[in-house]
Amino acid sequence: MSTVSSTSKPVVWITGASSGIGKAFAKKYALHGSDLILSSRRKEELEKVKDELIEISPRSEILILSLDLAKEEELADKAQEAWDWKQRIDVLLNNGGISQRSLFLESDMSTLRTLMEVNFFGSLALTRHVLPKMVEQGSGHVLVTSSVAGKFGTKFRSGYAASKHAIQGAFDSIRQEMYEYNIAVTLICPGPIKTAITQNSLTGDGKAFGKMGDLHTQAMDADEMVQKIWKKVVARKEEIVVSGFKERFALLLKRIAPRLLNKILQRSKVV
C-alpha cells in the first residue's frame, strides 16, 4: 500500500478539462497545490488550459491525456497511462459530458445511446479502471458531475436525464462499496451553469445544437460554481447540489409533491 509522501502533491485527474466546469475545477485544484491530468478529446484546447494553469500555479505539474469517453475500449489503457505518470491518483473527477436538445420523438436511438456512452459508460469505465489502484494506495476521492437532471426529467432531455439518473444510481452503490477502503464518492448536481454545454448539446440526429439557450445565458459561471462548493468538495461530501432557487424548489417538490412538479414541468417551454 503506497501513501502520499510529504513532498509529493496530490494527483488529480479531470475529464472534460478543456472547457467550462472541468476547466474551473482544474484551476481550483492547481491553486490548491495539486498535480493535474487533463483529459478530453481536444488536445489543443487542453494545451491552452495547461498554459493558463502554469501561469496561476507554476509548481503544478500537468499531464495532457486526450481521450474520448465514447471509446470504452481505449479507457483501460488511458487509466494505466494516468497511473503510470506519478504512480498514484488521489482524485478522479468524472466531469466530461454532453447534453441534449431534442424531443424524444425526434431523437435517433443512436443519439440516445451516445448520451449514455459518453456521460454514463465513459465515466463508469474510467472509475472501474481507477478504483483498484485507489484501493491499492489506500485512499482516494471519486467525483462525478451529475446534474439536477439526475434527480428529475424535463422536456428535451430524455437521454441526458437518463444518463444522469444512471450516474446517481451507480455511484450511490459504488460509494457504499468503497467506505471500507477510505475512498469517498461525491456526486455534484449543478443546475444551469454558464458554459458551452448548450452549444455542444446533441440534437435529434446527433449534430450539435450550436447556440446558447435562454436557461444558461443568465446562469452562474463555472468559476463561481466551483468557488461556491469548494469547501464541500474538500470535505468529501456525498452529494452537492448547486443551483438557483427554481431548481432547488423543483427538487423539494420532487420529494414532497411530485405530481405538482410534473404539472409545472409539463407547461414549461424552456429549451
Ligand X SMILES: NC(=O)c1ccc[n+]([C@@H]2O[C@H](COP(=O)([O-])OP(=O)(O)OC[C@H]3O[C@@H](n4cnc5c(N)ncnc54)[C@H](OP(=O)(O)O)[C@@H]3O)[C@@H](O)[C@H]2O)c1
Which of 140, 190, 204, 213 binds ligand X (CB under 6 A)? It is 190
The region of 131-139, 173-181, 187-195, 260-268 touching ligand X under the rule CB under 6 A is: 187-195
The residue whose grid cell reads 412538479 is 261
Instruction: Tell me the per-residue interface mask from 114 to 153 with ligand X, x by CB under 6 A, - otherwise.
Output: ----x--------------------------x-x------
- Total residues interacting with ligand X, rule: CB under 6 A: 32
Q: What angle do CA 121, 163, 29 make, to 5 degrees?
A: 70
The answer to whether 175 touches 41, Cβ cutoff 8 Å, is no
- H/E element, 214: helix 214-217
User: Using the rule CB under 6 A, is 41 a contact of ligand X?
Assistant: yes
Q: Rule CB under 6 A: say whether 70 interacts with ligand X.
A: yes
CB of 181 to ligand X, least distance (A): 25
Alpha-carbon distance 134 to 236, whole Å? 15
Q: Specify whether the CB–CB gap between 92 and 13 falls below 8 A.
A: yes
**In the complex, least distance from residue 62 CB atom to ligand X, rounded to whole angstroms:** 15
Q: What are phi and psi of 7, to 5 degrees?
A: -95, -20
Site membership for ligand X, residue 37 (CB under 6 A): no
| From candidates 60, 186, 195, 203, binder to ligand X by CB under 6 A | 195
Where are any strands of DSSP class E within 43-121? 62-64, 91-94
| Number of helices (H), then strands (E), in the chain | 11, 9
160 is catalytic: yes
The answer to whether residue 204 forms part of the interface with ligand X (CB under 6 A) is no
Is the CB of 17 or the CB of 137 nearer to ligand X? 17
Using the rule CB under 6 A, give the single segment among 34-42, 174-182, 203-211, 255-263 that binds ligand X: 34-42
Q: Which stretch binds ligand X (CB under 6 A): 125-133, 190-198, 248-256, 262-270?
A: 190-198
Q: According to the binding rule CB under 6 A, does residue 203 interact with ligand X?
A: no
* Distance (Å, whole) CA 195 – CA 117: 21
Q: What is the C-alpha to C-alpha distance for residues 89 and 96, in angstroms, rounded to an integer?
A: 18
- Active-site positions read 160
